[in-house]
Structures are given as structure tokens and as C-alpha cells.
Amino acid sequence: MPSSPDGADYQLRSERALWEKRADVAAEVAATLDGAFFDLKSVGKSNHLGDCVEGRDVTAGLRRAITALSTDIAAQANRASDLAHQCRGAATDFEATDVAGAEGFDA
């Protein structure tokens, strides 16, 4: 394993399995966030507080808050999904670079 420019105590690693594990974690986060987004769809759709000014206002405020939260959750789910794809791409790129760099070495 090659040493890092930061000293012999550090080793440089580009293992595909580690990048795949990172990708799996990011994909799991994306799936969990997608589930939360789905679960929030029905929250605040009905006014359970009564047909009065306060009931309508609280329900409308709750719906605005849920809509904003849902938007944020969807954005984070998309970012996590993108990260999973980037990690898989990094795994492939590092592996290809390692193979190309090792071509001139004899075992």
C-alpha cells in the first residue's frame, strides 16, 4: 500500500468495496427520505380543528409547513441519490486508475 505525502503513518486506499458501501448508505438514505416524503403527503389535508377561524388558520399553516418540509425532504432525497451515483462512479474511476497505474509494474 503506498504511503501518503502526509507521512508513512497514512496509507492511500481506493478500494472499490468502500466506495460501494458509501453508495449503498447514500441509496438507503434516499429511500428512507422518499418514504418520509410519501408519509407526509396526507398530513394536514383535513381540518380536524373545526370550521372556525382558528381551525382553518392552523390547518392552513400546518399545510404550508408540511409542504415546505416535503420540498426539503424531496431535495435531500435527490441529493442522496446523486451521491450514491457519484460514489459508484468514483469506485469505477479509482479502480480503472489503479489498473492503469499498475500496468507498468511487475509483480
**Burial grade of 107 (CB within 10 A; 0-12, 13-18, 19 or more):** exposed
CA separation for the pair 74, 28 (Å, rounded): 14
Express each pLDDT in 11-58 by its tens digit.
656 688 889 999 999 999 999 999 999 999 888 888 888 899 999 999
Collapsed DSSP state (helix, strand, coil) of residue 29: helix
What predicted TM-score, i.e. pTM, was given to this entire model?
Answer: 0.73
